[in-house]
Chains A and B, each alone.
Chain A
């Protein structure tokens, strides 16, 4: 296991590890709620609507996360309001919004000359250069997201399972939806420096999707999702580090983490298929 300790012997890798663990855990927990609400495409749209606000903020405000948070929450509020008005119910409308907001964001960033670099950093993160401030911000925002969903857990599950019943019981369904969207936004901002606005979607969907066939209940999904998220972070960073230092092969760490997560999902799906075939064979 020397390669494990060796990969994290330097401070910058240790910081990358901490933020990857935080973001992986928080994303994993949130993914349970995104998946049971079948919100994957909605979450995709949401992460894209957060982007222009984040882009503007990155040019205007430092530290990045404060501006990004304000802007991100503003876009989320606007987007939630729009969807409540039934203007964005179908996928076509969401696709239009997604691409429009994204284009606005790119335009904003392109006003600044160093835009390719800044753009890439906003979209894909720059996990190797995070500092303690970034880690604190991620922990704070991520912690709030998890706290929010934990407190509202029963209501969120009820609303996901039985929206009509929830409404019938007098629950303000729109407020619950807003709360979940806000939690997702918090995760997006928390993950900005680590994996960026594009890849964060993977953290918000894949972990729970992977763990779902193996557990029963939303809480196990959340915990399992957190574990998947965290371990993908560790493995991804180790691979990126070893590839760079040992083999001089450049692998973007953020993307590597996401690919590890996807691989785990693929392996998990394979295992589910295998389990099903075995069971089928046993019973017939």
Chain B
């Protein structure tokens, strides 16, 4: 089966400076990869490159065997919930239904199959009772779940998430991990930028460590070791908890 994502020594530059270089890796269907690194390491840049929103300076990206721009229908993006205007006049269910846009296309209107898919997705993240409320009235974690629901109903093969666990409540964290596991069981590949190493261990099988350069890419238990972490984060205090490595203070990425 086609791998969901193939990165081949890719580099991205902004204004002449290299933002990201030498990133390579393969993500198969059902895999999930944590993109780990400090602010400015290039995590968001990598996600945008996979979406075809930034051009490559070198190397290549293949999404489901195609160029990123051609594969967009099959790629769903979940941004951080706090990037949205809380006053915007849109209801929760309308946000979720937006996820059907690539399926509906420009000219048609949503049909009952689309409405059912949106309702089902919202149900899956446990927020059906807030369906008609204005999106901005939900808590941060709830909004993050809604955005995941939006991505679900797109029925994509590759899911990209940007810091989805940032500042969310416990219910949201559990829900997100459960839903992601279900999706993976159905063959959806997941790439998730995160700074929370504990969650990364829970949710992801692989990890890609970035600090403008790719430090490592492989199974998370192997890759998250002291040497790699030091190369990624510099000299920051971290602790071992059982088999896992946790950063002592993980500051949320500022935007």
Q: Please report A residues at the B interface, Cβ cutoff 8 Å.
A: 36, 151, 154-155, 157-158, 160-162, 164-165, 167-170, 212, 215-218, 221
User: Which of chain B's residues have a CB closer than 8 A to the CB of A169?
Assistant: 72, 77, 101-102
Q: Contacts A167-B53, A169-B101, A170-B72 hold; do A161 and B88 have CB atoms under 8 A apart?
A: yes
User: Which of chain B's residues have a CB closer than 8 A to the CB of A158?
Assistant: 98, 101
| Contact, CB under 8 Å: B72 / A168 | yes
Given A164-B83, A216-B89, 20 more contacts at CB 8 Å?
A36-B88, A154-B101, A154-B104, A155-B101, A157-B90, A157-B94, A158-B101, A160-B88, A161-B84, A161-B90, A162-B84, A165-B79, A167-B53, A168-B75, A169-B72, A170-B52, A170-B69, A170-B72, A170-B102, A216-B134
Bound-state Cα–Cα, A160 to B91, Å: 14
Contact of B89 among A162, A167, A168, A221 (CB under 8 A): A221
- Interface residues of A: mostly helix, strand, loop or mixed? helix
User: Which of chain B's residues have a CB closer than 8 A to the CB of A215?
Assistant: 89
Bound-state Cα–Cα, A4 to B73, Å: 56
Which of chain B's residues 98-115 have a Cβ closer than 8 Å to chain A? 98, 101-102, 104, 106-107, 109
| Contact, CB under 8 Å: A168 / B77 | yes
Q: Please report B residues at the A interface, Cβ cutoff 8 Å.
A: 51-53, 69, 72-73, 75, 77, 79, 83-85, 88-91, 94-95, 98, 101-102, 104, 106-107, 109, 132, 134
Bound-state Cα–Cα, A167 to B102, Å: 12
Bound-state Cα–Cα, A221 to B89, Å: 9
Minimum CB–CB distance for B163 against chain A, Å = 14
* Beta-carbon nearest neighbor of B51 in chain A: A168
Bound-state Cα–Cα, A157 to B91, Å: 12
Minimum CB–CB distance for A272 against chain B, Å = 13
Minimum CB–CB distance for B76 against chain A, Å = 9
| Contact, CB under 8 Å: A162 / B98 | yes
Bound-state Cα–Cα, A151 to B125, Å: 31
User: Which of chain B's residues have a CB closer than 8 A to the CB of A151?
Assistant: 107
Contact of A212 among B51, B75, B83, B89 (CB under 8 A): B89
User: Which of chain A's residues have a CB closer than 8 A to the CB of B109?
Assistant: 154
| Contact, CB under 8 Å: A165 / B69 | no
Bound-state Cα–Cα, A162 to B77, Å: 11
* Beta-carbon nearest neighbor of A32 in chain B: B89
User: Which of chain A's residues have a CB closer than 8 A to the CB of B53?
Assistant: 167-168
User: Could you give 18 example pairs across A and B, Cβ below 8 Å?
Assistant: A154-B98, A154-B104, A161-B84, A161-B88, A161-B90, A161-B98, A164-B77, A164-B83, A165-B98, A168-B53, A168-B75, A169-B77, A169-B101, A169-B102, A170-B73, A215-B89, A216-B89, A216-B134
